[in-house]
Structure 1
Amino acid sequence: MPPTHDVLPRQDFASYARTHWPRLVTTARLLTDDPGAAEELVRRTLARMCASWRRVPRDDVDFHVRRCLVRGHLRRLRGRRAAQRRTVLVLRFWEGLTDAETAQLLDCSVGAVRARVRHGLRAAGADAGRLREVYARAAEDVVPSEPPLTGVQEQGRVLRRRRIAVAALASAALLVPGALLAADRIGVGTGQDGASEAREESGPTAAVRVVAPGERVTAGPGVRVWLTADGGHWAVPVATALPGEQDDSGVPLDEPGVSLRMDSVSGGYLLSGVFHGLDGEPGRVEVRTGERKSTAKVLVLAGSPGWGLWYASTPVSDSDMKSVLSPGEGGNDDERIVTVYDASGKVAARSEREWWRV
């Protein structure tokens, strides 16, 4: 049974940075055509990766580093068309990525990659073989300096502390006085007995999708998720994941359990997590936020029954998240947020109610 998250020890970062610094500087030089800008781009990239190193999947490090490098480069140029074409050419004919791998890295379609390759080759006045030769000769002229590991790691620690502070502020902002919560709940439908009625948003059947290892699925605005043999992985541009996203309760992974994380996205908060320890695919994964109840979507790997990744179909609104983070309001003291049902309809696992307090 795979873990909910597979992470890299922090001491591995220095080894990775030292080993890959020359190759990264060469790639950055081909992107920027400027020695100073190339090393600065790689330094910023490694600092960002150092800040989130513990969350980088062990078998997907190069993808995350390349993506950070390329996006940092394009962000500086504000998406200029010529820079996009040059980036695609470098990824295809220097890094040796396929069209599909390039599309995943740039978060665009395979058709867009192929179009940029055609236009880029035409603008360069060369074919693929000729361009590879040009890149190889240019790479021979690149002489990287020693990797500035001390400065990179220090900047990474600063960025990590800053992200933790932002996450803490986001959590605190949601813990509002009960009076505001009561105002938010005005208008919820009631039955004849005066009790609040939960709003059902989807049917009882789980939306289970079988995916290939590493196949990326868009779960919400700016959020992509995927599975590998090591577990579930998230690609989130600006994450405010709170403590509890990992299964730290001490429950063995071969026993039923479910993790929960929260990411700030456009329109609210995306809830997702990993379930494990089931005898087969779940019957459904139910997410309850305040007075709202919905069935989550589920990703599983073919041939790997008993575990998978779930995510809410739509972002959760601010008002509903306020009620989630304020247990005791509305008489829902013992209510769990996520419930996993097995194929027979019995409860297989529940998230801890106080996941956000850990």
Structure 2
Amino acid sequence: MADRSEYDAFVEDAWSRLLRTAYLLTRDWALAEDLVQTALLKVWLAWPRVRQEREAYTRKIVFNVYVSWWRRRWRQVELPSGEPPDRTETADRMGEADERETIWRALGRLPARQRAVVVLRFFEDMTEAQAAETLGCSVGTVKSQTSKALAKLRVDESLLVRRG
């Protein structure tokens, strides 16, 4: 029973940070919650073996599950929905909402691996080594994926500036 109380305390402490990371990856709160819950289930199954760096271990699972979902989604047929959801924004926050939407769209155009690296490096403020550890790849891969992602984001930004 001690393991269960430790696990419950861990989930309570880490939930909001893990959810924020998952949201930055998925750009959907419901999917982000599903992603975190799936990761936490996997952590619970391995809980007796996980002694140190539990949050880092869980974060790595979040990214691995996200990548596997992304790969699976490419093999499925996507069906369009009827109508987009209604959006209610106040006039004084429209500029902020537009900027946030631009960032989400830009992140959404990145391949899954590049998006994961950008989220870890710039939203989670991890070092290259920490990001490599989380993603289970080399520091060189993190560097190259970051470089490619930033180049793609710069191209997207220059296209937006020319259109505007």
Supply the RMSD in Å over aligned alpha carbons. Answer: 2.0
Shift of 1:60: 1.2
Cα deviation, 1:245-273, whole Å, max 9, x if unaligned, reads xxxxxxxxxxxxxxxxxxxxxxxxxxxxx
Match of 1:72 in 2: 65
Shift of 1:9: 2.9
Task: Report the Cα distance in structure 1 between the residues aligned to 2:16 and 2:144, rounded to whole angstroms.
Answer: 30
Q: Which runs of 4+ in 1 moved over 6 A?
A: none
Match of 1:32 among 26, 30, 33: 26
Q: Matches of 1:15 and 1:125 in 2, distance apart? A: 41
| CA-to-aligned-CA distance 1:40-89 (integer Å, 9 cap, x gap) | 101111111111111112x3112210111000000111298711000001
Partner in structure 2 of residue 116 of structure 1: 145
Counting matched residue pairs gives 118
Give CA deviations for 1:172-224 in whole Å, capped at 9, x if unaligned: xxxxxxxxxxxxxxxxxxxxxxxxxxxxxxxxxxxxxxxxxxxxxxxxxxxxx
Q: Which amino acid aligns with 1:74?
A: V
- C-alpha distance in structure 1 between counterparts of 2:118 and 2:28, whole Å: 17
Q: Report what 1:55 is aligned to.
A: 49
Q: 1:121 Cα deviation (Å)?
A: 1.3
Q: Quote how far apart the aligned CAs of 1:10 are.
A: 2.9
Bigger proportion of residues as helix: 2
Q: Indicate the SS of the match to 2:111.
A: helix
Deviations 1:208-242 (A, max 9, x none): xxxxxxxxxxxxxxxxxxxxxxxxxxxxxxxxxxx
1:88-132 residue CA offsets vs partner (Å, 9 max, x unmatched): 011111222211121122222211110111111122239xxxxxx
Q: For 1:257-295, what per-residue CA distance to the aligned partner results, in whole angstroms no more than 9, with x for missing partners?
A: xxxxxxxxxxxxxxxxxxxxxxxxxxxxxxxxxxxxxxx
**Does structure 1 residue 96 correspond to structure 2 residue 131?**
no
TM-score (norm 1): 0.31
TM-score (norm 2): 0.66
Q: Which residue of 2 aligns with 1:171?
A: none
Match for 2:127: what amino acid?
T
Query: Structure 1 stretch 76-85 or stretch 91-100: which is displaced more?
Result: 76-85
Within 2, Cα distance between the matches of 1:16 and 1:66?
13
Residues 14 and 55, structure 2, Cα contact 8 Å, conserved in 1: no
Q: Percent identity?
A: 32
Match of 1:300 in 2: none
Note if contact 1:10-1:54 (Cα within 8 Å) is conserved in structure 2: no
Higher strand share: 1
In the alignment, structure 2 segments of 5+ residues that lack a partner are 75-109, 156-164
